[in-house]
Amino acid sequence: ALRAEDDHDDLPAMRAAIVRALPPLRSDGKVLDLGAGTGALTLLLAPLYPHLSYSLLDGREAALDRAAAQLRAAEPDLQVTILAGIVEPVADTPLPGGPYQLVTSSIALHDFARPAPPADADGRMRHHTEHVALLRRIWMTLEPGGHFIYGDAMRAGFRVAEHLATLAEAGFLEVDCAYVAGRLLVCGGQRPLAMETEK
């Protein structure tokens, strides 16, 4: 498990790197925080982008209740939608509430598409399939030209190159890595504009 107190797993620094990596955002845009937990990432974004509308999606209702309470206290005028539900990585439908200008995620993707040990070839193939399918669902959830920026953990056999390759495989353009420290990285990409070639 990742622990914020580990020197090499500095989650606040990783979340700050997500914020720095964001593209310019329209004031009328919608943001999805995927695997939002207690809302740590949205709490960082809200004071910087108070006019955006935020949806927090997570399967843990108690965590979302805490997120909603913290956001009400910190930003009482913020438009917030709480979406409690399990995210199945392999599905051919967009995530709820979209389309979004931006989807973010902080240390959650590996909870939806479970990694496998390097020696487990079948498990690694399953993880790759689930991870790409989850990224494709995120791609479908974005408006044309929208962005996905996320922070997650690297693992043996699934480091920066693999994160970038799976983003491209799912159809994202302009894929890049903005931050690497210890086991953590921040990556992302853009859904093509409607006029551009889509998969």
For residue 126, what are the CA distances in angstroms to 20, 92, 96, 166? 32, 17, 24, 13
Give CA–CA dist 72/84, Å, rounded: 17
- Amino acid (one-letter) located at 164: L
Cis previous bond, 99, omega within 30:
yes
Instruction: Compute the Cα dihedral for 40, 43, 49, 50 and give only its sign.
Output: positive
pLDDT tens across the length of the chain (199 residues): 455 444 457 999 999 999 999 999 988 899 999 999 999 999 999 999 999 999 999 999 999 999 999 999 999 999 999 999 989 999 999 999 999 999 999 999 988 888 888 889 899 999 999 999 999 999 999 999 999 999 999 988 889 999 999 999 999 999 999 999 999 999 999 999 976 544 4
pTM for this predicted structure: 0.91
Place of tokens 């922070």: 151
